Structure 1
Amino acid sequence: MAIAHQLKGAANTLLLFLRFNIVGILATGSYFLVGLALGALTPLQPLIIHLIAFIVSVVTSYTGHAYFTFKVSGPRYMLRFAVITGVLFAASTVLTVILNKEFGFSEVWTVTAVTVTYPIFSFILHSIWTFKQSDPSE
């Protein structure tokens, strides 16, 4: 009986991980595509491109994670998501400025760097805090 329970737990964790990655890919893809499109089609500065692409990505991410990945709702999760998103936004903004202004990276490479690093930290922080449910009935 204990083994069956552990297998069920492992299967649930794997399913959660897969759903997180599906949403993450969609959110990351939205950031990347919006960033690339704005970089190619507009005279906007990299920081403005980052801001617009980030907003699109955040809306995609919260909606997907709350309703598809973790299947939760409520102000508790929104507030936690906002806090972590703020931290990640600040970190990715600093990265954008440093790469573009200090090292002279193009818009494409700047957007690519944020696209690669952001999801890694997002998964870690959202898994251990944002959407953590202390009680199975939540």
Structure 2
Amino acid sequence: MRLIELLRVLRFGIVGLVAAAVHYWVVIALVELVDIAPLRANVGGFVVAFWVSYFGHRHWTFADAVATHAQGAHPSFLRFLMVALLGFCMNELLFYLLLRYAGWPYYLALAFVVFTVAVMTYVLSRLWAFRHAAQP
């Protein structure tokens, strides 16, 4: 693995951990403090974490690829939004299944789901959402 890609993976991990922590704690706060059902609170956690993730990845993880893109941030934002929405659909489905059929406590199911979906998000972000014009 090239050094630049290794650094990108490290930056992705840091931004991802911060976004995952934000997602997790927003859900916990909404469930425990506002008494919102976990599946609904998960939507709020996703919305807040999406912005943390987008700005972190755009301005730090994939800054080299985005900076050289002739059209600026708009295409990468739309692609990242699509990646994030796909990830959230997978997140919500897996969260539902673990709550409904496996009987996991919501805070354990949420932790498992948030980190499981991160791998797919990295691959799609790297190969599609934040690729620059010269990449396939």
- In the TM superposition, residue 130 of structure 1 has moved relative to its aligned partner by 1.1
1:89-131 deviation digits (Å, cap 9, x = unpaired)? 1111111111112222221122112122121111121112111
State how far apart, in whole Å, the 1-side matches of 2:115 and 2:10 are. Answer: 18
Q: Which runs of 5+ in 2 are unaligned?
A: 67-71
1:41 maps to 2:40: no
Residue correspondences, number: 128
1:44-102 deviation digits (Å, cap 9, x = unpaired)? 11111111111111110001001111112411101111111111111111111111122
The farther-off stretch of 78-87 and 108-117 is 108-117
**Residue number in structure 2 paired with 1:69:** 61
The letter for the 1-side match of 2:54 is: Y
**Residue number in structure 2 paired with 1:3:** none
State how far apart, in whole Å, the 2-side matches of 1:120 and 1:96 are. Answer: 16
Contact 2:15 2:56 in 1 (8 A): yes
**Residue number in structure 2 paired with 1:129:** 128
Q: Which runs of 5+ in 1 are unaligned?
A: 1-8
The letter for the 1-side match of 2:92 is: T
Q: Of the two, which has the highest radius of gyration?
A: 1
**Residue number in structure 2 paired with 1:5:** none
Q: CA RMSD in A?
A: 1.8
* Aligned pairs for 1:67-106 within 5 A: 67-71=59-63, 72=66, 73-106=72-105
- In the TM superposition, residue 30 of structure 1 has moved relative to its aligned partner by 0.7
**Residue number in structure 1 paired with 2:12:** 20
Moved over 4 A (4+): none
2:44 to 41, 44, 52: 52
